[in-house]
Amino acid sequence: QKRTSQNRTLVYQPDLQTRASSRLLLENELRDALKNKELSLHYQPIISMQNGSLLGFEALCRWEHKERGQISPIEFIPLAEESGLIVPLGHWALREACTSLKNWIEKYPHFSNLIMNVNVSSLQLLQDNFATSVNEILLNAGIKGSQLKLEITETTLIENAELVRDVLLDLKTLDISLAIDDFGTGYSSLSYLNQFPIDTLKIDKSFVNHMNSSEDSYKIIHVISTLAHTLGMTLVAEGIEEEEQMTALQKLGCHTGQGYLFSKPLANDAAEEYIRKEGP
């Protein structure tokens, strides 16, 4: 038993080193990408499933690597979090998303109530004066706090509960909305939910994906929906790809959605075009 594990260590050692150094390489490249503006944001429409209208967008980061092409945020966001790069990256994303929203609203005043959702990592939220810097971004971009919704994870809430609670209360004084992302996948305990000023629960796409094939996923969504309604929170489902999923979600009282069924995340110009086509 012991021998096997020693052998394993020996066998995997060089491999681990290669991986570590290629990660370091990618980390340096990400630092340059941020400096050289090789990162961009795509925007995925968020839709009312009651009347099909456009409610807002979620800003999602994209990295077009010169040689390697598109690198997924699933790969580079964790890297940015470990290296601390998520702080300048997240700041840039907030500024960029707010500026885009301002531009769209100026062109299409009919959509002056659109809401921009932006993902925020723990490390970013825990920076000194996070709320103040968000406020500066809002003022510079010329949009209201009520037009911004920040998406944070359950882990962020739990790991630094006291500090995070203070930051979130500061954000609420700016009229900013708060959503828990990937809800149901973290270490939820019902008691913590009430301790934070949360407006929205976002059902993770893994549940939506299986809701019509797995009884468990369906039941979990049912429970999350009941929870949201009981606590007076709004509910959004992500990853809706099929008509049947939409119908089932509507029946469960989830009236806001996001997913390929409505639209993929769109580059800036395509998102603007999406708004234009929406009318009036």
Question: Should residue 181 be labelled a site residue for Ca ion when binding is judged by CB under 5 A?
Answer: yes
44 binds, among ligand C2E, Ca ion, none (CB under 5 to 8 A by kind): ligand C2E
Q: Which is nearer to ligand C2E, 40 or 108 (CB)?
A: 40
Angle at 101 between CA 97 and CA 105, to 5 degrees: 175
Determine which residue in the list 111, 201, 204, 236 makes contact with Ca ion, applying CB under 5 A: 204
Contact 138, 170 (CB under 8 A): no
The two three-digit tokens of residue 52, written as one number: 């099909």
Q: Residue 96 interacts with Ca ion (CB under 5 A)?
A: no
121 lies in the binding site for ligand C2E (CB under 6 A): yes
Q: Is 45 in the site for ligand C2E (CB under 6 A)?
A: no
State yes or no: residue 145 binds ligand C2E (CB under 6 A): no
- The CA distance from 171 to 58, in Å, is 18
Task: Point out which span in 3-11, 22-30, 72-80, 157-165 binds ligand C2E (CB under 6 A).
Answer: 72-80
Q: To which residue do tokens 């305990």 refer?
A: 189
- Applying CB under 5 A, what is the total number of residues that bind Ca ion? 5
By the 8 A CB rule, do 182 and 210 touch?
no
Cα separation of 222 and 262, whole Å?
22
Q: Least distance from C-beta 206 to Ca ion, angstroms? A: 8
Nearest approach in angstroms of CB 92 to ligand C2E is 9
In eight-state DSSP terms, residue 1 is -
- The correct pick among 239, 242, 250, 278 for binding ligand C2E (CB under 6 A) is 239
269: nearest Cα among 100, 93, 47: 100
Of residues 30 and 46, the one with the C-beta less far from Ca ion: 46
Residue from 30, 47, 49, 60 binding ligand C2E (CB under 6 A): 60
Residue 27 neighbours by CB under 8 Å, 6+ apart = 79, 83, 85
- Which CB atom, from 29 or from 204, has the smaller least distance to Ca ion? 204
At 252 the three-state DSSP class reads coil
